[in-house]
Amino acid sequence: MDKLLINGGIRLDGEIRIAGAKNSALPILAATLLTQETVEVCNLPHLYDITTMLELLGCMGVQPIIDEKLNVEVNSSTIKHFNAPYELVKTMRASILVLGPLLARYGEAEVALPGGCAIGSRPVNLHINALEAMGAQIAVEDGYIKARTDGRLKGAHIFMDLVTVTGTENVMMAATLADGITTIENAAREPEVVDLANCLIKMGAKIKGHGTDTIVIEGVKDLHGCSYSVMPDRIETGTYLIAAAATRGYIKVKDTRPDILESVLSKLEQVGADIKVGDNWIELDMHNQRPKSVSLRTAPYPAFPTDMQAQFTALNTIARGTGSITETVFENRFMHVHEMNRMGASIQVEGNTVIVEGVDHLKGAPVMATDLRASASLIIAGLVSDSETSVDRIYHIDRGYECIEEKLQLLGAKIRRVPS
């Protein structure tokens, strides 16, 4: 297992390119199961979770072909099995995304109950209830969701009790091949849901309302192949912008989309960043000024994303003033706080809110990553600390950030990967 060693105190300065969005790529790869024809998926990020999803397709008998540019061609006509085993699902919750496509196309699916990051309960019952409303027979036994249907799924009116991204995606994919019309109310509005919908439409699906809280899908007989390029990763974009702001630096991120980052850019302007944007780039300059504290509250898109909360906590630790950060999406997402306090931060947890009082500087220390975004926040804390920080258990970070140490090195950071 590897760890990252960071020698902090250096202003980040430079340009980097943003990878494709993991949270778009995973459902789009699952959607390739909906057609017998070949689907080419481009701009895939080079990440452990993507490898896991390709392995999952492989264990079903589908053999993806990967070219030198990391574009993947998937033809699921060779599928032999309709089950997602626990060995793969336990490392990645997004494996549940194969449930809807398998059920819609083949009438059966067996998917292990998911694992992944330990950031609170993310109930799969919303997926199950929705698919049952569409006519599926589902039993949860021996740690597996076992689902089947007699004939095609049926269109249904589905109200999601909670806004769920993967739940919305699973039902939307299943509904593309169902008989009749499916309406999803209280649907997730995230850009990654819109990206999946756009890919499905390119495959011949009839979908309206994606990007709003009511999505309407009219089932079709078959979907066909296509070539589709995954959108840029907004969370990766935001993480590097925050890292530059925390270190009083300058950065230009390219191959990204400012239009889906408005809530994050607005907070960065509040910390004192000078921000300029173009069609596919964002420039941030702190002019060597110490950031100001910000207060924020996470909520589903288009509000402030939960996946950026830990990174802003790190920025607030060395900012001027005191900021409060309230987490409303996941109940167990402050596990980075204890590690930052060990580095000299002044953070108090009060229920689902953290109060961060900015200090002049942090001190490097050995810290341990507990989930994907917490890992990123500890790296930012390391970048602004006085001495060496070692971040252990970085397999979490490799699930969501492509070549993070190389990109930070391009910006001047002293960071390297070593065996732990």
Residues labelled as active-site residues? 117
User: In 176-233, where does DSSP find H-type helix?
Assistant: 191-202
Four-point Cα dihedral 63, 42, 35, 26, nearest 10: 80
Are 332 and 373 spatial neighbours (Cβ–Cβ below 8 Å)?
no
**Cis bond upstream, residue 302 (ω within 30):** yes
Q: Please report, for residues 54, 100, 138, 149, the alpha-carbon distance to residue 145 in angstroms, rounded to integers and kept in the order given.
A: 21, 12, 7, 13
* Residue positions counted in the chain: 420
Q: Which two tokens stand for residue 173?
A: 């994919």
Q: Which two tokens stand for residue 259?
A: 């239009």
> What's the DSSP call for residue 113?
P
Cα-Cα end-to-end distance for the chain: 6
Task: Strands of 234-352 (E only): list them.
Answer: 250-254, 274-277, 281-285, 296-297, 322-326, 346-350
- CA max distance for the chain: 65
Q: Please report, for residues 136, 210, 280, 288, the alpha-carbon distance to residue 129 in angstroms, rounded to integers and kept in the order given.
A: 9, 21, 39, 53
Provide the edge-to-edge strand list for the sheet that holds 296-297: 296-297, 322-326, 353-357, 346-350
> What's the DSSP call for residue 141?
E
> What's the DSSP call for residue 245?
H
Q: Which two tokens stand for residue 258?
A: 């400012």
Q: Phi, psi (5° rounding) for residue 389?
A: -115, 135
Q: Please report, for residues 195, 212, 217, 301, the alpha-carbon distance to residue 220 in angstroms, rounded to integers and kept in the order given.
A: 19, 22, 9, 29
Which residues lie below 8 Å from residue 68, measured CB to CB, with a gap of 6+?
none
Identify the CA nearest to 182 among candidates 106, 130, 107, 136: 130
